[in-house]
């Protein structure tokens, strides 16, 4: 299933949401379910309801750095650049939440090195 095909639809367990190296035009909010983030097949994190993923490619416009797979049946809300900008303007704490996620994942990566 391509990123473009995923909107607010359900994503079945085991389905790749995106793959490492793909271009990314949005991040996702997990409305329901769990999503595993994998780097070269190694589990980095599991994102649960209310969590976000895919934010790096949205912010820096570089290819996806990890693969996202539905660990359970999921419902996702895509957030493209326009929607992201609006969320940041209307809810400045949203930007802090995204930064906290980035910092947390960076710290986790540092611990594995």
Mean pLDDT by 10 residues, the chain (113 residues): 54 95 93 95 93 91 94 95 92 90 83 70
Token digits of residue 109: 């990566």
Question: In this structure, what are the phi and psi dihedrals at residue 65, rounded to the nearest 5 degrees?
Answer: -95, -5
Burial class (CB in 10 A: 0-12, 13-18, 19+), 35: buried
How much is the pLDDT for 1?
A: 44
- What's the rounded Cα separation, in Å, for the pair 100 and 82? 21
Instruction: Region of 29 please: left (phi>0), alpha (psi -120 to 50) or beta.
Output: beta
Nearest to residue 65, comparing CAs of 20, 106, 105, 24? Answer: 20
| Tokens 């790096």, residue located | 56
H-helix or E-strand spanning residue 101: helix 92-112
Q: Please give the structure tokens belonging to residue 40.
A: 């070269």
Task: Walk me through the domains of the chain, giving residue ranges and CATH numbers.
Answer: 3-112 (2.60.120.10)
């Amino acid at each position: 299933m391509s990123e473009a095909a995923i909107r607010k639809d359900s994503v079945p367990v085991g389905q790749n949401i995106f793959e490492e190296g793909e271009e990314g035009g949005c991040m996702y909010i997990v409305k329901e379910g769990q999503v595993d983030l994998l780097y070269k097949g190694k589990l980095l994190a599991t994102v649960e309801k209310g969590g976000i993923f895919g934010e790096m490619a949205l912010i820096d416009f570089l290819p996806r750095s990890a693969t996202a797979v539905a660990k359970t049946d999921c419902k996702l809300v895509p957030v493209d650049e326009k929607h992201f900008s609006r969320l940041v303007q209307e809810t400045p704490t949203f930007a802090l939440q995204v930064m906290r996620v980035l910092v947390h994942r960076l710290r986790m990566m540092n611990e594995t090195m």
